[in-house]
Structure 1
Amino acid sequence: MAADVKNDNQPYDDINITPMLDLAYVLLVTFIILTTASVQGVRVNSPQTQAANNLAKPQTRAITITADGAVYLDAFPVSMEQLSSSLAQYKSANPALPVVLKADAAAQYERVMEVLEIAKKLDITEIGLVTKRSAG
């Protein structure tokens, strides 16, 4: 009879990893859900306020150049002089001003270089160029 009873101090022949796999799957699903939510964003109906001008505004400025050569700063049409003065004001408020340059594929290269020269004169080093991933 004593031979049938297993001693508690004996080592196990195998390790049960099922609880560990369950935990790994839960963490994986949680990570996927949180990553997807943070990338796509969550739609909310923002409250309206009279002090909207005093609240923090996005720091990144977008410059767009259309196929016909028109230049826009944050969706407002500007000339090169207006672009330079506006960027200078933004740069004085935020020394590490990030700028995103989005040009049409048919836009004149000279126009893009003019915008990049203005950014260089104002010592704007955080410049991102917007492109699309090719489908191939």
Structure 2
Amino acid sequence: MSGDVKEDNQPYDEINITPMLDLAYVLLVIFIIMTTASVQGVKVELPHTRNTASLAQPQTRAITVTLDGAVYLDAYPVDIVMLEQRLSEFKGNNPSLPVVLKGDAAAHYDKISEVLEICKKLGITEIGLVTKKSAE
């Protein structure tokens, strides 16, 4: 009779690796998503300076002027009229609105001065110009 009863205390001959594979696939997907995520913005060639200060304020708005004269507000393309409207809305919500201006080093100066005139017209006084630190 003891030969017919199967003992439950026998060690397993193989390990079930399905839960471990599920975890590995989830981690792989998370790793792929995290490495391919990009920072919002428009790529421009920044001018070089010796000292750069970083502006890490949460309400800062970024205005980008590309080489071909296109204007972007927080990575969204805008024209000059729309830029003024949006900045006016942001200024209404935050009276001390800081603005960062990223202009391509070879961009036309008249487009950058036009953006600066809009900031002056709206009373935006906290304006930072983004540059790269040059190698000495």
TM-score interval, smaller chain? 0.5 to 0.7
- Report the residue type matching 2:134 in the other structure: S
Normalised by the length of structure 2, the TM-score is 0.57
Unaligned runs of 5+ in 1: 1-44, 46-57
Shift of 1:122: 0.0
Cα root mean square deviation, aligned:
1.1
Deviations 1:74-105 (A, max 9, x none): 00000000000000000000000000000000
Residue in 2 aligned with 1:60? 60
Q: Which has the higher contact order (CA 8 A, sep 6+)?
A: 2
- Report the residue type matching 1:100 in the other structure: V
Residue in 2 aligned with 1:77? 77
Normalised by the length of structure 1, the TM-score is 0.57
Alpha-carbon distance between aligned partners in 2 of 1:99 and 1:74, rounded to the nearest angstrom: 10
Residue in 2 aligned with 1:125? 125
Unaligned runs of 5+ in 2: 1-33, 35-57
- Report the residue type matching 1:69 in the other structure: G
Higher helix share: 1
Alpha-carbon distance between aligned partners in 2 of 1:59 and 1:89, rounded to the nearest angstrom: 13
Runs (4+) off by over 4 Å: none
In the comparison of the two structures, how many residue pairs are matched?
Answer: 80
Q: Percent identity?
A: 66
